[in-house]
Amino acid sequence: MGKQRILSGIQPTGELHLGNYLGAIRNWVEIQQSYDSYLFMADLHAITVPHDPNVLAENSRRVAALYLACGIDLNHATIFVQSHVAAHAELAWLFMCITPLNWLEDMIQFKEKAVKQGENVGAGLLCYPVLQAADILLYEPDKVPVGEDQKQHLELTRDIAARLNYQFGSEEQPVLKLPDPMIRKEGARVMSLTDGTKKMSKSDPSDLSRINLLDTPDQIAHKIKRCKTDSPRGLWFDDADRPECNNLLTLYMILSGQTKEVVATECQDMGWGQFKPLLTETMIGALKPIQDKYHEIMDEPGYLDSVLKQGKEKAEAIANPTLAKVKKALGYLLPS
Ligand code: AMP
Ligand code: TRP
């Protein structure tokens, strides 16, 4: 039996930050040996909110280079750009026509983002999860590793697949395979540097709230110097009244590769004045190899483009037959 397949993606909007790395990419790297991985830049999703056409292409390349710089290994993984594989948009249309509108109106992320955008909500924002279902089902993955926030979209994906199977397949011969979500129970949830109760996020207006993977040592030092702290003496984990303290200790623990017990003991009598330089130095050290590798990849002419070209071909080899299967089930005249 071959390896199981996993599929996941990140939108190439804004800079990738520590949350994206510790919450998503690092997990892909940890499990990649055991799976056949398909990882993509969700650039079709990136235009569901207003976007800047001058940076979209470059952002896709940057995210691809960061996947590689963070340790994604092309011997186990295929990296591709969503919009390079036309089947995503085409299958999304077919799914759109079998998806009840009220399923989409119930999506939490839609409601949240729609509120933020006020009057100008595009139809694409509503249909976003249908495109995501197409992204996933095209590759017939066994598992889809995502953060907790994507759980509802994966349930919708399964619902769309089940509905299509029910309407156009048979029990013995389902058209689409239902994938399982792979949601880490105690995954690293990295919080904002300016508010320990909020997730670190690309869309936070303040850049001081996050550490981007490509921040310079000076930027990192500046952000940690300015980050929110509190007044009690000594530092400890898991105190609901000290969310910033827990977040910063957790970052130090993960980035230094030490256990919670060791960090708890090391830092119990520290003040912020002593801890912040330690965290700064650890963070700069942990990001340096990623940044060095990133620049190496970006500086090698043609390398990234060849990775993405190969990725497109490998992705299409799986996606196109699935699309053809669905079109056949829906009764389309296929080209001869
Ligand atoms: P996004 O930046 O929302 O496109 O998310 C891309 C991936 O990174 C998803 O799998 C998220 O679950 C993960 N992610 C984003 N922000 C964080 C965070 N602050 N902590 C942990 N994981 C995150
Ligand atoms: N919606 C996902 C996010 O915001 C990104 C995404 C798009 C995705 N298509 C996907 C994730 C398919 C997993 C599988 O993080």
Print the SS3 string covering 200-264.
CCCCCCCHHHCCECCCCHHHHHHHHHHCCCCCCCCCCCCCCCCHHHHHHHHHHHHHHCCCHHHHH
pTM: 0.94
Work out the angle at residue 59's Cα, subtended by the Cα atoms of residues 320 and 150, and round it to the nearest 5 degrees: 65
Q: What is the pLDDT of residues 126-183, one digit of tens each?
A: 999 999 999 999 999 999 999 888 999 999 999 999 999 999 999 899 999 999 999 8
Residue 278 to residue 270: CA distance in whole angstroms: 11
Q: How far apart are CA 135 and CA 157, in angstroms?
A: 10
Catalytic annotation present for 113: yes
Residue 185 binned pLDDT confidence (cut-offs 50, 70, 90) = low
How far, in Å, from the CA of 195 to the mean position of ligand 2?
A: 25
Percent of the chain with pLDDT over 70: 99
70-to-18, 154, 311 alpha-carbon distances in Å: 11, 25, 18
Which stretch of 31-45, 79-93, 106-120, 149-163 has the lowest confidence by average pLDDT? 106-120
Q: How far is the CA of 10 from the centre of ligand 2 (A)?
A: 6
Q: Average pLDDT of 94-118?
A: 92
Q: What is the model's pLDDT at position 75?
A: 97
| CA 287 distance to own-chain centroid | 18
Protein residue with its CA nearest to atom 11 in ligand 1: 147
